[in-house]
Amino acid sequence: MGKRRSKITFSLFEPIKYLIENEEVYTIRPQRSKVIDENGVYIYYKGMRIGKGKKERVGSVARLGKWKVIKKDKTVVDLDEFVDKSGFKTVKDWIKAVITVNKRMPAFLQLYRVVVEELDYEKDELLKALIGLEKEGGSENDRKM
């Protein structure tokens, strides 16, 4: 029996577009993953599988005056250092997106780095399909490319 991968789902267009274009993205999630992703992850946008990748926890996110990341090695850095690779223009936009997705500000936040190993479709086709999906405002659950 093969090794199982866990799943990471993106529900906002900006980070998944950035991930596809750049093959990596930083994402803020509401809690520490209980699953060890040593076998990698399947990457989804809404209900559509995008490809395979790796997910690595960078550290905890907290508001300490400014938004900060307390890295695994206990060093503290500004969240600003990661916003350029998040798909968002500003930390404020990124935090607003976290609240939108979770319908509230979660008590605990974690920063992860997701790297693409393999896309399920050609990059240009995938971006075109996602842009179409975003314009429709629908989910890809029952549709195939």
- Rounded distance, CA 21 to CA 19, Å? 6
Three-state SS at 48 = strand
Q: Where are the domains of the chain?
A: 6-136
| Topology classification of domain 6-136 | 2.30.130
- Rounded distance, CA 118 to CA 97, Å? 26
pLDDT, position 79: 98
pLDDT, position 37: 67
Each residue of 2-48: pLDDT tens digit?
A: 578 889 999 999 999 999 999 999 999 997 666 666 789 999 998 89
Is 140:133 a contact under the CB 8 Å cutoff?
Answer: yes
Model confidence at 143, pLDDT cuts 50, 70, 90, reads very low
